Amino acid sequence: MSQPVSLLRPDGEKLSCLCLSGTAPTLMFLGGFRSSMEGEKAKALAAWAERTGHACVRHDYYGYGLSSGDWEKATLGRWITDALAVLDTLTKGPVILVGSSMGAWIALHLAEQRPQRIAGLCTIAAAPDFTADTLPARFEEATGGTMEEWLTRNDRFVAPSAYEAEGYVFTRRLIEEAANHLVLEREIAITCPVRLLHGTEDKDIPPGRSMKLMQALPGPDTCLTLVKGGDHRLSRPQDLALLTGTISELMQKAAG
Give dist(CA 98, CA 57) in Å, integer: 11
Residue 181 is a catalytic residue: no
Candidates 243, 255, 234, 232; CA nearest to 49 is 243
Residue 204 is a catalytic residue: no
- Active-site entry in 54, 109, 198, 232: 232
Give dist(CA 236, CA 244) in Å, integer: 12
Give dist(CA 137, CA 130) in Å, integer: 10
What DSSP line would sit under 58-124, residue for residue?
Answer: EEPPTTSTTS-S-GGG--HHHHHHHHHHHHHHH--S-EEEEEETHHHHHHHHHHHH-TTTEEEEEEE
Residue 109 is a catalytic residue: no
Contact 193, 250 (CB under 8 A): yes
- Active-site entry in 60, 82, 129, 202: 202
Contact 94, 74 (CB under 8 A): no
- Active-site entry in 16, 35, 101, 210: 101
- Angle among Cα 89, 93, 98 to the nearest 5 degrees reads 80
Residues 6+ apart with CB under 8 A from 190: 108, 111, 112, 115, 118, 121, 217, 218, 219
Distance of alpha carbon 177 from its chain centroid, rounded? 17
Active site residues: 101, 202, 232
